[in-house]
């Protein structure tokens, strides 16, 4: 089933929320007080049942000893 929770690019944060690592994180610039700005980068947050059309099957890798 195509959804974020089964996509190889999705990194789970909790049961129903995660972040998409399909593309590089995006910068977010925020205006703060006194004419200052701050910049951070973020991965897009998605819910487990969403999907974007870039979905790729997540292949489970068995742990090797």
The predicted pLDDT at position 39 comes to: 84
Q: What is the mean pLDDT of residues 21-32?
A: 87
**pLDDT > 70? residue 2:** yes
Q: Helices (H) and strands (E) in the chain — how many of each?
A: 0, 5
The residue behind tokens 């980068």 is 41
Q: What is the mean pLDDT of residues 37-45?
A: 88
The predicted pLDDT at position 61 comes to: 62
Tell me 5's DSSP state.
G
d(CA 49, CA 17) in angstroms, rounded, equals 9
**pLDDT > 90? residue 63:** no
d(CA 26, CA 24) in angstroms, rounded, equals 6
Return the bridge partners of 12, or none: 18
């Amino acid at each position: 089933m195509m959804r974020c929770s089964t996509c190889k690019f999705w990194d789970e944060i909790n049961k129903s929320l995660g972040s998409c690592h399909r593309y590089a994180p995006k910068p977010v610039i925020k205006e703060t007080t006194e004419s200052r700005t701050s910049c951070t980068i973020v991965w897009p947050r998605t819910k487990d049942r969403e999907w974007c059309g870039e979905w790729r099957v997540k292949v489970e890798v068995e742990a090797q000893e």
